[in-house]
Amino acid sequence: MGVRFSAKDKADALGIKGYARNKRDGSVFLELEGEVAVLREFIDWCKTSESSGNARDMAVSPGPIKGYREFQIY
């Protein structure tokens, strides 16, 4: 299963909203909304799970809440 689909499964399980999309350079961009503790759990999963591709380079930054209703894949 691809990284975006694994991320969706995990996000859905945790109740995280947002999206995942491939970038032109081959990396995956995630925009997430949820409770801070749940987002931290998701980030830890990204760093350790083989399903997430064992994210090596991650940048995490806060942003405005957009009110996503679900987690989508683009």
Is the dihedral angle over the CA atoms 61, 42, 50, 74 positive or is it negative? negative
Whether 56 sits among the annotated catalytic residues: the reply is no
Closest by Cα among 34, 40, 73 to 58: 40
Catalytic residue among 21, 22, 54, 56: 22
On whether the CB atoms of residues 56 and 49 are closer than 8 A, the answer is: no
Catalytic residue among 4, 24, 40, 54: 4
Whether 69 sits among the annotated catalytic residues: the reply is no
What positions carry a catalytic annotation? 4, 22
